Amino acid sequence: MGNHYENTIIIQNQNTWIEGAAVVQLRHTATLNGMRRVAGMPDLQPGRGYPVGAAFFSTGVFYPALIGGDIGCGMGLWQTGLCARRTPPAKLVKQLGSIDAPEAGDVPATIGGGNHFAELQCPDQIYRAELLPPDWHGKHLLLLVHSGSRGLGGQILREHVERFGHQGLAENSPEAADYLAKHDHALDFARRNRAAIAARMLARWRSEGTCLLDLPHNFLQRAEYAGETGWLHRKGASPANRGLTVLPGSRGDYSYLLMPAENTGFALDSLAHGAGRKWQRGECKGRLSRKYPADSFRKTALGSVVVCADKALLYEEAPQAYKSVADTVAALEQAGLATAVARLKPVLTYKTAGACHD
């Protein structure tokens, strides 16, 4: 269910593999001034100084560096009007074209770097029908958008680091108030960015869409644990106290709709935000290129289509570079943190169509 180390917990089971460097980083955060508890998720992985896939609770002081540069990054899930059986992927790709260029008056609509993506999915298995959202339509496709605040959050972090390094900010200081105002703006920008991406894609497909959920997984908030009021930092950790959440696998794996349990405080009310990386980005091409040409990653073993004109990203985001999402979900369930509601199968994953702007 979980390994404990002083004020640290890691949610894992016998099938969970976590890189040692990530555990070292997590334990280091537990020693920061004011830090009361840290919780690593099954998708815990090393980050730039601090781990990804974790939540951190401190009192009296908070740490912008723990949130990172992509403030507000998260997942939005939309119910579309696209019939799953009557909409072949090739037709969807043609209708979509490229959404890489921003539109006048619109939030920048490109997806973003790294592992950001938009994906059409079809319901594959339903485990708890009574927990599905009211607007659920089992015969129609869903649209999952994973994106954040783009360059805005990075700029906010750079400004902070230039002034304070990785030091925390005293909670009642003017500097803390200034950061929180910028943080909240980036959080809202990221949400609107996901909505703009979804709206643009749905318009290309001439489909209506209803937002079923939108949850950030990189953000800071006031919280209370064990009778103390302080600051909950999430870096790659989905909230477990806001209802249904979605946990994606790789572009060649399933995603899961999860219902958090009632008591998740021991894990800082947080869940994994994805399957978790197995390989670092820099080693993916070396591991895969001799056996797999880049174009082989444009279609997955599940029959879905991948739109990604960047060959480097085809290797970096290859399904082989990620853990099994089923193992990650199982670790959460065995820890008593969540229940699987539905499994979603990828149909079309969009990253970038390259220079073919229209």
Find out whether 55 is annotated in a ligand binding site: no
Active-site choice (137, 183, 273, 357) = 273
Find out whether 115 is annotated in a ligand binding site: yes
Find out whether 56 is annotated in a ligand binding site: no
Cβ pair 230, 58 in contact under 8 A: yes
Find out whether 117 is annotated in a ligand binding site: yes
Find out whether 233 is annotated in a ligand binding site: no
Find out whether 2 is annotated in a ligand binding site: no
Q: Can you give the three-state secondary structure of 308-342, one letter per residue?
A: ECCHHHHHHCCHHHECCHHHHHHHHHHCCCEEEEE
Find out whether 183 is annotated in a ligand binding site: no
Find out whether 116 is annotated in a ligand binding site: yes
Concerning whether 137 is annotated as a catalytic residue, the answer is: no
Find out whether 353 is annotated in a ligand binding site: no
Find out whether 28 is annotated in a ligand binding site: no
Find out whether 53 is annotated in a ligand binding site: no
- The token pair at 307 is 């739109």
Find out whether 189 is annotated in a ligand binding site: no
Feature table: binding site: 115-119, 146, 217-218, 255, 273-276, 351
Feature table: binding site for Mn(2+): 116, 146, 217
Feature table: binding site for GMP: 115-119, 217-218, 255, 273-276, 351
Which residues are known catalytic residues? Answer: 273
